[in-house]
Amino acid sequence: MMPSAPDTPAIVGGKPVRTKPFPKWPVHGAAERKQLLKVLESGDWWCGTGKKTEQFEQAFAEYHGAKYAIACTNGSTALEASLLACGIAPGEEVITTPYTFVATAGSILRVNAVPVFVDIMPDTANMDPDLIEKAITPRTAAIMPVHFAGLPCDMDKIRSIARKHKLKVIEDACHAWGGQWKGKGLGAVGDIGCFSFQMSKNLTAGEGGIILTNSRKLANLAGSVVHVGRKAGHEWYEHFVIGSNLRMTEWQSAVLIEQLKRLPKQQETRLRNTAFLDEKLSRIGGLKTMASEKRAGRRSVHIYIFRVDKGSFGIGRDRLVECLNAEGIPCHGGYPFPLYRNPVFQDLGKIDSPLARLIGKKLDYKKVNCPEAERICKDVIWIKQSTLLGTRKDMRDIVTAVKKIKAAAPLLT
Ligand SMILES: *Cc1c(COP(=O)(O)O)cnc(C)c1O
């Protein structure tokens, strides 16, 4: 058989741009092994007797310039504990974004509070702060911004609205390890902030989460929720608040101590590759890269995202993803629809639950429509954080593949 021409797209039988895999995730080595063995042999597998969790909390707090850190089981429980610590009461409303993972608004539902969705901005994918005030009602108690893909929200605007209306700011910083807003660590800019260490995240122990705050009061409350309602300095059988056992294990902390040391260099690589992709992809007609944030300070990059205009690129997002995958470029379309389109929201009024009983028919998410969030779900492409750990040559392959597909677009519709 004749080899096919190099510019024939792989999806129609051409040679793929590459077959070499992109970097594997997670990244680990002798340091993690040594830490884990230390925990194993010490017999202190629990944060109550071991020292690793405390050590990790201190290191993570310091890296983010926060006074307090409370490690916990995952990002979802970090958010729930933070809402409880902030005193968000059943039936109160929390303003958040619909372009996010389920845990953001899911944590609000879990404390029987009401997520109120405001739309995102098309060039950042972050919640539009100019829409927040219109969404405030007498029941609003907090704002929960997400620093999507690691790009910080405008925390000046969000905090000033919060101050004016006496609302708490609970940052979902689950994409933003090490990121900053004007030089202040994300997660410690609002009243309280939450991070995840689940497997797909830039800092991981398979699962895990952490809460940051500069308020001693909130730290004590959140810590109490995470530690079965106990309070520091009191007896083990004294329980003061309704908590749960949300503690991190020493295994996770041992791994995270080493992962945190790897983070700054990895972030530099992701950032350098992001800048390269932004520059190259934005010059290809029909693609739009995301806005940058000059006020940020240290930048965290989780996923890399860019948007496809079918009209000028020649083919639509779904087809481009298929074609790129065939070229050996891992990428996907991200959230298939805004969070509120999930049955857990759409059917909330139908299913008997404490929340439905509390607010009854007012809870109709079928009426929610955020056009920018709807649009981005249809035209964005996500490249995951571990792919961004590749070399310059790896990034060039991504650009080459995109250009190749665009040149052949008429054949691919
Ligand atoms: C990952 C993530 C969370 C929390 O996830 P867990 O899997 O519970 O650790 C919360 N919000 C966002 C935006 C996330 O991506």
Annotation marks residue 198 as catalytic: yes
pLDDT for res 357 = 85
Q: Region 269-297: what's the mean pLDDT?
A: 96
Q: Is residue 88 part of a domain?
A: yes
Checking if the pLDDT of 4 tops 70, the result is no
**Which CATH number do you get for residue 90?**
3.40.640.10
**Domain that residue 85 falls in:** 30-259
Reported as a single tens digit per residue, the pLDDT across 66-100 is 999 999 999 999 999 999 999 999 999 999 999 99
Annotation marks residue 33 as catalytic: no
Structure tokens at 327: 């070229």
Q: Over the chain, what is the mean pLDDT?
A: 96
Buried b / exposed e across 262-287, counting CB within 10 Å, b at 16+? Answer: bbeebbeebbebbebbbebbeebebb
Out of 52, 147, 168, 201, the active site residue is 201
Rounded to the nearest whole angstrom, what is the distance from the C-alpha of residue 43 to the centroid of ligand 1? Answer: 31
User: How many domains does the structure of the chain reveal?
Assistant: 1
Three-state DSSP class for residue 46? strand
pLDDT for res 126 = 98
Ligand 1 mutation target, pool 72, 73, 74, 76, most atoms within 8 A of CB = 76
Please work out whether the CB of residue 172 comes within 6 Å of at least one atom of ligand 1: yes
| pLDDT category of residue 256 using cuts at 50, 70 and 90 | very high
Task: Take atom 6 of ligand 1 and give the residue whose Cα is closest.
Answer: 75
pLDDT for res 33 = 98
| pLDDT category of residue 352 using cuts at 50, 70 and 90 | confident
Reported as a single tens digit per residue, the pLDDT across 25-70 is 999 999 999 999 999 999 999 999 999 999 999 999 999 999 999 9
114 pairs with which residues across the strands? Answer: 93
Q: Is residue 232 part of a domain?
A: yes
Q: Is residue 165 part of a domain?
A: yes
* DSSP states of 358-388: HHGGG--GGG---HHHHHHHHHEEEE-TTGG
Out of 134, 166, 237, 361, the active site residue is 237
Q: Is residue 330 part of a domain?
A: no
| pLDDT category of residue 348 using cuts at 50, 70 and 90 | confident
| Cα separation, 413 vs 408, whole angstroms | 10
Rounded to the nearest whole angstrom, what is the distance from the C-alpha of residue 14 to the centroid of ligand 1? Answer: 38
| pLDDT category of residue 356 using cuts at 50, 70 and 90 | confident
Reported as a single tens digit per residue, the pLDDT across 128-180 is 999 999 999 999 999 999 999 999 999 999 999 999 999 999 999 999 999 99
SS (H, E, C) 49-103: CCCHHHHHHHHHHHHCCCCEEEEECCHHHHHHHHHHHCCCCCCCEEEECCCCCHH
Cα distances (Å, whole numbers) of residue 255 to 54, 55, 62, 292: 13, 12, 18, 32
Q: Is residue 167 part of a domain?
A: yes
Annotation marks residue 18 as catalytic: no
Percent of the chain with pLDDT over 70: 98
Q: Are 197 and 251 in contact (CB under 8 A)?
A: no
Q: Is residue 71 part of a domain?
A: yes
Rounded to the nearest whole angstrom, what is the distance from the C-alpha of residue 193 to the centroid of ligand 1? Answer: 12
Q: Region 218-245: what's the mean pLDDT?
A: 96
Q: Is residue 307 part of a domain?
A: no
Q: Are 24 and 386 in contact (CB under 8 A)?
A: yes
Q: Is residue 223 part of a domain?
A: yes
Rounded to the nearest whole angstrom, what is the distance from the C-alpha of residue 72 to the centroid of ligand 1? Answer: 13
Task: Take atom 4 of ligand 1 and give the residue whose Cα is closest.
Answer: 75
Of 49, 389, 107, 84, the residue nearest 253 (C-alpha): 49
